[in-house]
């Protein structure tokens, strides 16, 4: 496994270990009950002795069993949680131990492998998983909402397109939805359309509000013809800038928190970073070996995360383009990257079915959600249908929302555990966004409809006048995201 090249450790200070599990009082009883028959001084299967604290630290014949602060990378945790490839499932030949014991072992590793109630944690246990929403990038005045926008004169397409991009303003009750050569705006408070913006460049594959909500970025284009990034003033709808002269669609783009940088990428395998002021390209990033499918600036704008169609994720210093890290656990196309509001964690989703929560400081996952959106095989069929995760976003309250090939909106905590899930939607959900007040999760679907979920009910909304695509015309269940 390749790991982060540059480590930016931060000293974790801890005020007392009360409430944190320790080996003597909490973990050893679990081992005694389920493991010592095979992992004790007398019966040391695979060279692993769990009977003593030092035995656990020593590990087994395949090396370290536990890494302080990193349950998701610890063999022992993977063995009891039945997660990960190539790790034996423990207890061998027995039933999985209770979830509460798995959680205890996870918390024990996460909080630094305490031996007893008075010991200090080992290793770098990293930033807190808890999140308190802050006011970073909050606009000083009222959050931008569109005024009366001129109508878009382009005719609606005959058939509705799958929703290829969706974004919610981080501060206002405003949603932006990709259409064909246009962007629909929607007022989430009034539950009413709020105007349209023309995007004659083609189909938007990415929509992003700036971190203060004042600017809307749309990126896309026409397949194998042209690609562009356009910035709009949210209040007036005016085009502020158009960047990139790409020979193919732009699949991923973002604008930095200070509004000065725009990064874009697509089938060209290059990430290009432009100055919004001069319109000139500042630098390009050449490390990706496949199409750029996702990218996002950190909330403070200092770093840029980029992901590709082969599962590679890189981190960069946004001012210079210098490499700042490499997160390599995904095995298929990265579909989304999202930073938590404090910039300490990055979430990635992939067609490989996983959601991974990365500690940005050291490049290790704090949680891996395998098979996050695995559909059930249709009745009477065998085999596993594709279970890709198609879109994900950190909500401003620190929860993670995602959609995937099971057509279900799901909400996750930082421990990688599911906190809520909507009823399955009638069509494949392609994109997801959480409203600024976190009361609503909105997903776009394959037939051009939105699904609004308030935690209780799914409500379908259609913004386009176009006829929904029929099941027969859908063909394969792939989002029309320009990927082949």
Residue 420 within binding range of ligand HEC, rule CB under 6 A = no
Residue 60 within binding range of ligand HEC, rule CB under 6 A = yes
Give the residue with the Cβ less far from ligand HEC, 45 or 159. 45
Interface pick for ligand HEC out of 21, 27, 55, 65 (rule CB under 6 A): 65
Residue 34 within binding range of ligand HEC, rule CB under 6 A = yes
Whole-angstrom distance, CA of residue 40 vs CA of residue 250:
57
Give the residue with the Cβ less far from ligand HEC, 53 or 412. 53
Map the footprint of ligand HEC across residues 96-125, applying CB under 6 A.
97
CB 55 within 8 A of CB 48: yes
Which residue's Cβ has the minimum distance to ligand HEC?
A: 60
Whole-angstrom distance, CA of residue 129 vs CA of residue 344:
9
Residue matched to tokens 């509000």: 209
Whole-angstrom distance, CA of residue 455 vs CA of residue 478:
26
Query: What are the tokens at 139?
Result: 């606009």
Give the residue with the Cβ less far from ligand HEC, 50 or 144. 50
Interface pick for ligand HEC out of 67, 76, 361, 389 (rule CB under 6 A): 76
Residue 257 within binding range of ligand HEC, rule CB under 6 A = no
Residue 72 within binding range of ligand HEC, rule CB under 6 A = no
Interface pick for ligand HEC out of 27, 67, 72, 80 (rule CB under 6 A): 80
Q: Among 4-12, 16-24, 91-99, 221-229, which window interacts with ligand HEC (CB under 6 A)? A: 91-99
Whole-angstrom distance, CA of residue 484 vs CA of residue 482:
7
Residue 42 within binding range of ligand HEC, rule CB under 6 A = no
CB of 96 to ligand HEC, least distance (A): 9
Query: What are the tokens at 10?
Result: 């931060």
Number of residues near ligand HEC (by CB under 6 A): 24
Q: Among 11-19, 35-43, 234-242, 452-460, which window interacts with ligand HEC (CB under 6 A)? A: 35-43
Query: What are the tokens at 107?
Result: 């918390």
CB of 104 to ligand HEC, least distance (A): 11
Whole-angstrom distance, CA of residue 189 vs CA of residue 27:
49
Residue 52 within binding range of ligand HEC, rule CB under 6 A = no
Distance of CA 52 to the CA centre of its chain: 39
Q: Among 73-81, 167-175, 329-337, 447-455, which window interacts with ligand HEC (CB under 6 A)? A: 73-81
Whole-angstrom distance, CA of residue 416 vs CA of residue 201:
39
As a residue count, the chain comes to 484
Give the residue with the Cβ less far from ligand HEC, 66 or 389. 66
Characterise 342 by phi-psi region: left (phi > 0), alpha (psi -120 to 50), beta (else). Answer: alpha
Query: What are the tokens at 400?
Result: 């993670």
Interface pick for ligand HEC out of 3, 45, 122, 287 (rule CB under 6 A): 45
Interface pick for ligand HEC out of 92, 136, 460, 471 (rule CB under 6 A): 92
Give the residue with the Cβ less far from ligand HEC, 110 or 318. 110
CB 70 within 8 A of CB 364: yes
Residue matched to tokens 């349209």: 196
CA dihedral angle for residue 39, residue 42, residue 47, residue 52, rounded to 10 degrees: 60
Give the residue with the Cβ less far from ligand HEC, 45 or 462. 45
Residue 20's nearest CA partner among 118, 143, 149, 146 is 118
Q: Among 34-42, 187-195, 271-279, 408-416, which window interacts with ligand HEC (CB under 6 A)? A: 34-42
CB 347 within 8 A of CB 394: yes
Residue 40 within binding range of ligand HEC, rule CB under 6 A = no
Distance of CA 390 to the CA centre of its chain: 10
Residues forming contacts to ligand HEC in the complex (CB under 6 A) are: 34-35, 37-39, 45-46, 48, 59-62, 65, 75-76, 79-80, 88, 90-94, 97
């Amino acid at each position: 496994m390749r790991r982060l090249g540059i480590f930016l450790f931060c000293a974790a200070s801890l005020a007392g270990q009360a409430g944190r599990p320790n080996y003597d009082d909490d973990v050893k009883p679990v081992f005694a009950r389920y493991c010592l028959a095979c992992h004790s001084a007398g019966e040391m299967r695979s060279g692993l002795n769990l009977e003593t604290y030092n035995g656990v630290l020593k590990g087994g014949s395949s090396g370290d069993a536990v890494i302080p602060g990193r349950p998701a990378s610890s063999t022992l945790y993977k063995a009891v949680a039945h997660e990960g490839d190539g790790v034996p499932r423990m207890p061998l030949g027995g039933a999985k131990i209770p979830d509460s014991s798995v959680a205890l072992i996870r918390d024990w590793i996460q909080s630094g492998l305490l031996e007893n109630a008075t010991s200090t944690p080992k290793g770098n246990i990293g930033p807190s998983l808890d999140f308190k929403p802050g006011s970073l990038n909050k606009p000083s005045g009222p959050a931008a909402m569109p005024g009366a926008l001129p109508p878009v004169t382009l005719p609606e397409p005959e058939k509705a397109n799958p929703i290829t991009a969706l974004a919610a303003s981080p501060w206002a009750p405003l949603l932006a939805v990709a259409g064909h050569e246009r962007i629909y705006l929607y007022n989430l408070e009034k539950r009413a359309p709020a105007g349209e913006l023309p995007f004659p460049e083609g189909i938007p594959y990415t929509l992003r509000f700036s971190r203060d909500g004042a600017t809307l970025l749309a990126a896309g284009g026409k397949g194998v013809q042209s690609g562009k990034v356009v910035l709009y003033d949210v209040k007036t709808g005016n085009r502020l800038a158009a960047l990139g002269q790409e020979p193919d669609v732009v699949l991923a783009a973002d604008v930095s928190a200070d509004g000065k940088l725009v990064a874009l990428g697509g089938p060209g395998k290059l990430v290009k970073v432009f100055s919004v002021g001069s319109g000139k390209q500042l630098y390009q990033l050449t490390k990706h070996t496949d199409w750029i499918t996702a990218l996002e600036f950190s909330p403070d704008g200092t770093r840029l995360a980029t992901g590709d169609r082969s599962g590679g994720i890189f981190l960069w210093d946004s001012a210079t383009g210098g490499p700042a890290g490499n997160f390599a656990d995904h095995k298929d196309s990265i579909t989304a990257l999202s930073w938590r509001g404090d910039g300490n964690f990055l979430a990635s989703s992939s067609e490989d079915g996983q959601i991974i929560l990365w500690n940005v400081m050291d490049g290790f996952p704090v949680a891996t959600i395998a098979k996050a959106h695995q559909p059930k095989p249709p009745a009477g069929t065998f085999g596993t249908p594709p279970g890709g995760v198609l879109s994900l976003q950190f909500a401003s309250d620190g929860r993670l929302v995602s959609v995937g090939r099971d057509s279900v909106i799901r909400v996750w905590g930082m421990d990688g555990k599911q906190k809520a899930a909507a009823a399955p939607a009638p069509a494949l959900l392609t994109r997801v966004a959480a409203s600024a007040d976190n009361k609503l999760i909105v997903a776009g679907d394959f037939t051009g409809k939105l699904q609004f979920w308030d935690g209780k009910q799914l409500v379908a909304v259609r913004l386009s006048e176009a006829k929904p695509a029929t099941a027969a015309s859908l063909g394969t269940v792939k989002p029309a995201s320009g990927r082949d």
